[in-house]
């Protein structure tokens, strides 16, 4: 069965998962970053104070994910979606309307939690849980919502802010997203709750942070978001060190968004054919090769290689992660284990910019930082091999 048949027979659940992934753009760093200056001015914060607040609410969102994320294993998806969307709307209201920076930052935290955190969690979990033989393709289709948001929203912001204030734009976007959400919530068939709430939540089910195999797998799954975050945040230093320009970087960033599409679609097909464990062994190869090229060659071509190689890997990243978690811990505990992984991702991407900033402040060249990133990827790959062998032998779930 191909993608066309999958869309024809399961368009309701795929529409829900896709819309959840697209709506998560409201809390993604690329979108919030577009409003950094007006948000800081509205709350009368300096750039440094805004950056500190952003890091704090991001880390707090990761902690909340650990507590709230597992509830998707026993809460009906429709009720889960309604709760998250209402909390997201409350966050937008606090962020755009509150004149006091404290309530505004709280709103930003809700937007980060519900957008990047919970809506992505809902889309990934729903697509993974509702399919068995076609799980990879379903997750691939759902994951296209994120690159679509990355491609459409920045130019839309640039064009619309000529006529509207930034607050009005947020409410206009919320209104536009509310239309398909209301239609799906009212008319689409939703699945029932997959299980019952445990009597003692802390003692039931897997506890990933206490399992060595989770810690052995974690660096491999975190290596891409950690290193790509560094390339995003320190783009000026990257391009200067590689003898390139920010104009080339901007074009290459668009190339990254395009590269995510084949990464997701081909990744979904290959997961169904060969399994997530075998694909996990090779999906970082284009990105690692690009990093090696950039560290020793430089130039405009190296910036393009990093962005396109990273885009290909990012397109398949979430599909591989969900597939491995299902193989190792089972579909019935996907919400709990994905919450642990999502929280770890949030923590790591919040800390990575600080670590790279310290290295740059100490005088470390960006080529040396790229070489260190590559060494980290190789070490993470080696550490995960035994766990990947276990996952490859596990029965299909």
What are the start and end residues of each CATH 1.20.1250.20 domain in the chain? Answer: 1-196, 208-397
- Tell me how far apart the alpha carbons of residues 127 and 145 are, in angstroms, rounded to a whole number: 12
Return the structure tokens found at 265.
């679609």
Task: Measure the CA angle with vertex 212, ends 208 and 218; round to 5°.
Answer: 70
Predicted pLDDT at 201: 47
Indicate the CATH number for domain 1-196.
Answer: 1.20.1250.20
**137 and 273 in contact (C-beta within 8 Å)?**
no
Predicted pLDDT at 363: 87
Q: How far apart are the first and last CA of the chain?
A: 19
Predicted pLDDT at 195: 62
Predicted pLDDT at 256: 86
Residue of 15, 323, 30, 5 whose CA lies nearest to 145:
15
Predicted pLDDT at 138: 85
Q: How many CB atoms lie within 10 A of CB 257?
A: 21
Predicted pLDDT at 350: 65
Q: Which residues of the chain have pLDDT under 50?
A: 201-203
Return the structure tokens found at 339.
């919450």
Q: Is 206 exposed, middle or buried (0-12, 13-18, 19+ CB in 10 A)?
A: middle
Residue of 129, 134, 145 whose CA lies nearest to 337:
129
Residues in Cβ contact with 145 at an 8 Å cutoff, skipping those fewer than 6 apart = 17, 18, 19, 20, 21, 22, 23, 24, 25, 123
- Tell me how far apart the alpha carbons of residues 208 and 345 are, in angstroms, rounded to a whole number: 14
Q: Which fold has domain 208-397?
A: Growth Hormone; Chain: A; (1.20.1250)
33: alpha, beta or left? (left if phi > 0; alpha if psi -120 to 50): alpha
């Amino acid at each position: 069965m191909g993608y066309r048949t999958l869309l024809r027979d399961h368009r309701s659940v795929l529409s829900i998962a896709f819309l959840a992934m697209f709506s998560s753009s409201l809390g993604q760093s690329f979108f919030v970053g577009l409003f950094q200056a007006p948000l800081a001015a509205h709350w009368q914060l300096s750039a440094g104070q805004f950056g500190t607040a952003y890091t704090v609410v991001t880390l707090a969102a990761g902690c909340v994910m650990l507590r709230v994320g597992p509830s998707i294993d026993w809460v009906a998806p429709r009720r889960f979606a309604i709760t998250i969307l209402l909390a997201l709307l409350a966050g937008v209201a606090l962020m755009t309307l509150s004149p006091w920076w404290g309530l505004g930052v709280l709103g930003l935290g809700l937007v980060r939690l519900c957008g990047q955190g919970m809506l992505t969690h809902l889309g990934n979990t729903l697509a993974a849980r509702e399919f068995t033989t076609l799980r990879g393709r379903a997750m691939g289709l759902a994951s296209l919502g994120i690159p679509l948001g990355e491609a459409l929203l920045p130019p839309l912001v640039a064009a619309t802010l000529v006529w509207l204030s930034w607050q009005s734009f947020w409410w206009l976007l919320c209104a536009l997203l509310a239309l398909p959400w209301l239609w799906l919530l009212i008319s689409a068939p939703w699945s029932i709750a997959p299980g019952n709430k445990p009597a003692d939540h802390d003692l039931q089910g897997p506890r990933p942070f206490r399992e060595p195999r989770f810690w052995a797998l974690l660096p491999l799954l975190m290596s891409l978001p950690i290193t790509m975050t560094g390339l995003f945040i320190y783009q000026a230093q990257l391009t200067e060190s590689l003898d390139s320009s920010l104009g080339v970087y901007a074009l290459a960033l668009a190339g990254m968004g395009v590269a995510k599409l084949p990464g997701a679609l081909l990744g979904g097909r290959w997961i169904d054919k060969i399994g997530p464990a075998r694909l996990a062994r090779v999906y970082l190869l284009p990105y690692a090769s690009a990093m090696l090229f950039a560290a020793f060659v430089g130039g405009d071509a190296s910036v393009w290689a990093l962005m396109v190689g990273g885009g290909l890997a990012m397109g398949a990243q979430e599909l591989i992660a969900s597939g491995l978690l299902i193989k190792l811990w089972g579909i019935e505990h996907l919400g709990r284990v994905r919450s642990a992984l999502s929280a770890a991702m949030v923590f790591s991407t919040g800390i990575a910019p600080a670590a790279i900033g310290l290295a740059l402040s100490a005088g470390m060249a960006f080529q040396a930082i790229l070489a260190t990133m590559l060494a980290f990827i190789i070490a993470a790959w080696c550490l995960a091999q035994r766990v990947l062998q276990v996952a490859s032998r596990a029965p299909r779930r």
